[in-house]
């Protein structure tokens, strides 16, 4: 009888553990003490912000505002209004196109990223060189970053993938805080070993209130939310 009871307990424990492992909504933020957040665009469709707001593990959200010289994310206006309403700290980001006229990109971003609506510093999403040589790409990027800084009176957060940084940006953006995308279980280390403020650790996260996959990030080391707060 005792053996049967022990065997039953083992089986039940195994079932519980298996259910937890298969739960797509139980991820890193459920098992650690880091400050976590998400980023969203129109790809996630209509988000149930009331439900997201109830998930206290999500402290912040970056919303795609614009891309290049004329693209405006179709869900941005709805997302920023409802994210604020349900208690998240909100920032806006621009997808940078190196070959597109910089003034047009700035004006496009300014039309959506309104200072009065920002809790977090602007973020510039850098994922492509536009087939430019690295030097020309960097000239375009650095000029744009300075334009953003002059406009918003604070340096933007720079988002990019680890491999992209290692190939094109090593030692060139030390003045900017970084969010590095690197989808493994190990924290990213850059070729120049410089400090990383935030780590986007998955592009296939799940969260109640959002259909489909979602990008999730967290702060590294002793970094925290106060470092990226928008200075009004």
| Alpha-carbon gap, residue 157 to 20, rounded angstroms | 35
Q: For position 16, what pLDDT does the model report?
A: 40
Q: Over the stretch 143-163, which tens digit does the pLDDT of each residue have? A: 999 999 999 999 999 999 999
What residues pair up with 134 in beta bridges, in sequence order? none
Of 33-42, 67-76, 160-169, 197-206, give the lowest mean pLDDT range.
33-42
What is the pTM assigned to this prediction?
0.86
- Per the CB < 8 A criterion, the answer to whether 178 and 145 are in contact is no
| Alpha-carbon gap, residue 161 to 181, rounded angstroms | 5
- Residue 175, pLDDT above cutoff 90: yes
| Alpha-carbon gap, residue 41 to 95, rounded angstroms | 11
Structure-block tokens of residue 203: 């592009």
Q: For position 58, what pLDDT does the model report?
A: 85
Structure-block tokens of residue 80: 């920023």
Mean pLDDT computed over 165-170: 98
DSSP state letter for 61: E
Q: Residue 44, exposed/middle/buried by CB under 10 A (0-12, 13-18, 19+)?
A: buried
Three-state DSSP state, 216: strand
Q: Residue 42, exposed/middle/buried by CB under 10 A (0-12, 13-18, 19+)?
A: middle
| Alpha-carbon gap, residue 229 to 122, rounded angstroms | 10
| Alpha-carbon gap, residue 127 to 87, rounded angstroms | 30
What residues pair up with 158 in beta bridges, in sequence order? 124, 178
Mean pLDDT across the chain: 89
Contacts of 39 (CB under 8 A, 6+ apart): 61, 62, 63, 64, 93, 200, 215, 217
Q: Over the stretch 90-106, which tens digit does the pLDDT of each residue have? A: 999 999 999 999 999 99
Q: With DSSP H G I counted as helix, E B as strand and the rest as coil, what are the percentages for the chain, rounded to 5?
A: 40, 20, 40
């Amino acid at each position: 009888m005792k053996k049967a009871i022990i065997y039953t307990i083992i089986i039940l424990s195994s079932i519980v553990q298996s259910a937890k492992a298969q739960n797509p909504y139980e991820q890193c933020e459920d098992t650690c003490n880091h400050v976590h957040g998400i980023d969203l665009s129109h790809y996630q469709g209509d988000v149930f912000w009331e439900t997201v707001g109830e998930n206290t593990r999500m402290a912040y959200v970056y919303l795609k505002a614009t891309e290049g010289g004329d693209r405006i994310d179709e869900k941005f206006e709805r997302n920023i209004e409802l994210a604020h309403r349900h208690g998240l700290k909100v920032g806006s980001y621009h997808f940078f196109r190196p070959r597109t006229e910089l003034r047009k990109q700035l004006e496009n971003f300014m039309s959506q990223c309104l200072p009065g609506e920002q809790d977090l510093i602007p973020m510039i999403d850098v994922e492509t060189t536009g087939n430019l040589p690295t030097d020309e790409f960097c000239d375009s990027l650095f000029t744009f970053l300075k334009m953003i800084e002059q406009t918003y009176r604070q340096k933007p957060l720079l988002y990019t993938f680890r491999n992209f940084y290692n190939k094109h940006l090593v030692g060139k953006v030390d003045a900017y805080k970084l969010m590095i995308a690197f989808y493994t279980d190990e924290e990213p280390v850059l070729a120049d070993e410089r400090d990383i403020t935030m780590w986007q650790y998955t592009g296939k996260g799940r969260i109640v209130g959002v259909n489909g996959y979602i990008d999730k990030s967290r702060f590294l080391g002793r970094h925290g939310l106060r470092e990226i707060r928008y200075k009004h």
